[in-house]
Amino acid sequence: MTTERENFGSRAAVIMAMAGSAIGLGNIWRFPYMVGEYGGAAFILVFILCSFVLSFPIFLSEAIVGRKTHSNAFGAMRQLAPKSVWTALGYLSVITPMIIVSYYSIVGGWSIEYFFKSFSLNFGEFRPTGWTTLVFNTIFLALSAGIVAFGVKAGIEKFNKISIPLLFVLIVLIMIYSLNMPGAEKGVEYLIKPDFSKLTGRTFAFALGQSFYSMSLGMGIVITYSSYVHKEENLVASGAGTVLAALLFSILAGFAIMPAVFSAGIVPSSGPGLVYQTLPYVFSRMGETSPIIGTAVAALFFFSVVVAAMTSSISLIEVGVAYLVEEKGIKRSLACLIVFAVAWLLGLASVFSIEVFGKVDAFSSNFMLTAGVMLVVLFVGWRMDKEDVRSELTNHGKVNNKVFGVFYFLVRFVAPITVLAIFISNLVL
């Protein structure tokens, strides 16, 4: 169905939107606890390597599909490979973000709850499930869907232009404070001194999975957002800006959180609740010395987590909304309401069971994202016409001609073999 489509207004807007999708709970919530569970500095090195060698060319592959078709994730595959098995990739690209946002919004809800609690510094015991979780999950989902309802420019672009610079300022301020806490040097050492004896197949598997998660790969987000990018835009330049922003923010988040973890004497491998178990304790200790400082730092931190969660959740929601608007002819406001309802219902089991939450997170990040990524690189590397791929990446030969050969080799050979190896390791490890 043909509809008038919006586009992002500039390269800065593209990078802010893409970075807004990439910079989220995957960086500020998930990255620190993954670092804690899978090897500290050694995990970080593997994560950086995966981001440049694999995730960047995969990001460009999804961007090529999106911008070439100027369509939603499903519509893109319908255009490029009509009535073929490749439409399965289109369906997967719409379903995966719905599943992810169903539990992602729960963490966003925790963040809103803790933001309000920070004003009294009375955090209490961390309770990740229950009726309170349902209430804040609902609030978070409703706010995210509301932003998407305003559209690409008035909603997504405007929100990210404000939130991304703000996020970097906030995380730097928190990092400075964290690094000056007693015992913080142990956290810094944990982040910068790799213990290569901890490198295992599981480390590589989860580092690559975290890289996919952090850069929003395999979710249909990059395809959808790239469909709003002008034909004149340099995909490599905007993609590189996104990758660097996501990497930088992840590292900053690690240095903001891990020194505080060690200062508090908390085990770094505490899992998904690391941020919500560790930092309230730290903030409460601050409050004993100076209630004003403790309250200010706590509110600042959890506000940043809320903003980070929101930038990613709106991109997850946009995938489903774009599908409903363009494929089903539904008005954007109603499409937002439908996606909200579907995500809310899908998340009910996770709201009341942390075991379900963990299983859904593991399955979506280690299997669904990996499957989506594998299909994308196979499609771009082996199914799409090589000259079409070249034309899109180089803007018809105007830019990026020297990097095309390297990109194409990575997409055709290195990425599929590596992703397959990781997928198999996820099954057996």
Report the C-alpha gap between 383 and 74 in whole angstroms. 16
pLDDT tens figures, 91-101: 999 999 999 99
For residue 1, pLDDT over 50 is answered with no
pTM value is 0.91
**What torsion, rounded to 10 degrees, do the Cα atoms 424, 239, 105, 45 define?**
50
Run of H or E residues at 176? helix 158-179
How large is the average pLDDT for residues 382-396? 96
**For the chain, which domains are there?**
11-428 (1.20.1740.10)
For the chain, the average pLDDT equals 88
How large is the average pLDDT for residues 267-287? 73
User: Token pair of 295, please?
Assistant: 């309250």
- Residue of 374, 373, 347 lying closest to 361 (CA atoms): 347
Contact between residue 171 and residue 253 where contact means Cβ atoms under 8 Å apart: yes
* Residue found under tokens 């899992």: 271
Q: What angle do CA 88, 24, 426 make, to 5 degrees?
A: 50
How large is the average pLDDT for residues 243-264? 88
Report the C-alpha gap between 343 and 166 in whole angstroms. 28
pLDDT tens figures, 307-318: 888 988 999 999
For residue 2, pLDDT over 50 is answered with no
For residue 372, pLDDT over 70 is answered with yes
pLDDT tens figures, 20-31: 777 777 777 778
